[in-house]
Amino acid sequence: MGNAQLGTETLSRLLKLLDASPGFAGLGSAVQLVSQLADAEDGGTREIVAAILSDAALTARLLRIANSSRNARGGRNVSTIDQAIVILGLSTVKSVVLSLALLNTMANSPQARLLNGEIAAAYFCGSFCAELTRLNGARYSAQEAQVCGLMQNLGRMMVAYHLHEEIEHSRDLQVARNLTEDEAVRQTLGVGFEEIGAAIAAHWSLPDVLQQSLAMRKEKALPRSVNTPLDWHRYAALFSRLITDILFRLPEGREKIEIANEIEYFRLVLRLKDSEVHEWIGKILQETDQQLQALAFPCDVEQARTQLRKASERVLDLLSAQDSLTKESKDGRKPVEIFQQVLRQFHDKYGFDRSLLCLPDGSSGLVAVAGVGRNAAAIATRFRCQGAKPDIFRLVYSKKLDLYIADTQAETYAKHLPEWYASLVDARSIMLLSVIHPESGQPLALLYGDYAESRAQAPDGMASDPEIGAWRAELVTALQGQTSRN
């Protein structure tokens, strides 16, 4: 089946699933309502007040936010939705309405944690798009921009909810072939997240500005000017989506250069200045975190970023094309491909923040050759255990041990960590697993996983998990005949 036909079938099936879900039908209505309200007209305000009052839970949540110490003015008690709108602003109220509609619809799904991260990212995207419009496009509607931004990952959320098995297959494909997330999704579904979001917006008969902003993608030629409100919202929403993806999906080490690239592309059309964009990013991240806290949301911004990075990152291969580990073996697989798959499975199953595969380097060194997780790109290139002074990593490797360290700052372990480790990694809990040749007993590799926050015990069931034995066996197969990096 060709990709085009597969994409058509995927969209048809997804839209049928959406129609069959009352929660998502309600979500479409909520988006329509908020999108169509006048920016500041009394009639629009009356309409949104009536809609809010029809939902007791939403009413209570908005009053709670308006009465929080951050928003309350002079200790004033906010007891009506009219007052809440004055205190919070209609833009914030609209964003909260849509965020809660998303949360209420998806809260009980088995993949709720991932979806909570997507909702947090959507909230940031909407707020960033509104801020950009208020400051650089004042003649356009900031509220309309906020709704466009808030809906940018609509396709992702609907697919994650309704087509979870397909997304899991896409993740397996991503690992097996070391693809980008978009490449793997398109091979699995026949269509990308942006096209899916635009198709849903059209199916729900959402306003044209929403449909076109969801379908918008970068072109080769740099955009230079906007002539209509529709043009502004399309470019502003696309820029906000790309900035959000950088902050919530890419490894931290790539943020600086990728943000600079997007600023340069949109500089003329959105009148951007580097310092201002970075200032907006910091401000909106902080405000989003505060707003999520006021909403009693299940995750904060940092948790959302960690969760979404895990869902979209690609295992890093640090080996050169000349390295023997990149050469195809008898079974048709390159050793590095096995590294990628095992490392991803190890990382995902135990929820590590970062995982590395280390191999011997010379007679006494140990180096990371592949990694996945938080800031893995920057960490893996500098994870080098060398020199005469012994360290915990080489000790565990040479003694062929498995070791879980609950607190790396405990004196017993801290004195055996390399000096560079505290400044480069500084994880509080780490897991080290030796990979040993079953016949010769020779150590071949070290699997490393860490948690940024201290955990008193190793992951449940890890000690007796048969998968660990299977992963070690796969790594042994990949490493047969490889004794040193030099």
Amino acid code (one letter) for 457:
Q
Q: Which residues pair with 153 in a beta bridge?
A: none
- What per-residue confidence (pLDDT) applies to 485? 46
Residue 60: how many CB atoms within 10 A of its CB? 10
Domains and CATH numbers, the chain: 3-36+89-312 (1.10.3210), 316-479 (3.30.450.40)
**Can you point out the beta strands (E) in 290-396?**
316-317, 354-361, 365-373, 384-385
Instruction: Give CA separation, 129 vs 134, 201, 302, in Å.
Output: 9, 19, 20
The dihedral region occupied by 315, where left means phi > 0, alpha psi between -120 and 50, and beta the remainder, is beta
Instruction: Give CA separation, 140 vs 130, 143, 163, 319, in Å.
Output: 10, 9, 36, 49
pLDDT per 10-residue tile (average), the chain, 486 residues: 82 86 55 53 60 62 68 61 76 67 60 81 91 94 83 86 85 70 89 90 81 88 90 96 93 84 95 96 94 79 86 57 54 73 89 91 83 81 84 94 94 90 89 92 93 91 89 87 46
pTM of the model: 0.64
- What per-residue confidence (pLDDT) applies to 104? 62
As to burial, measured by CB atoms within 10 angstroms (0-12 exposed, 13-18 middle, 19+ buried), residue 225 is exposed
Contact 153, 121 (CB under 8 A): yes
- What per-residue confidence (pLDDT) applies to 38? 42
- What per-residue confidence (pLDDT) applies to 50? 66
Nearest alpha carbon to residue 195 among 156, 143, 141:
156
The dihedral region occupied by 313, where left means phi > 0, alpha psi between -120 and 50, and beta the remainder, is beta
Q: Rounded to whole angstroms, how far apart are CA atoms 424 and 378? A: 9
- SS3 per-residue string spanning 4-59: HHHHHHHHHHHHHHHHCCHHHHHHHHHHHHHHHCCCCCHHHHHHHHHHHHCCHHHH
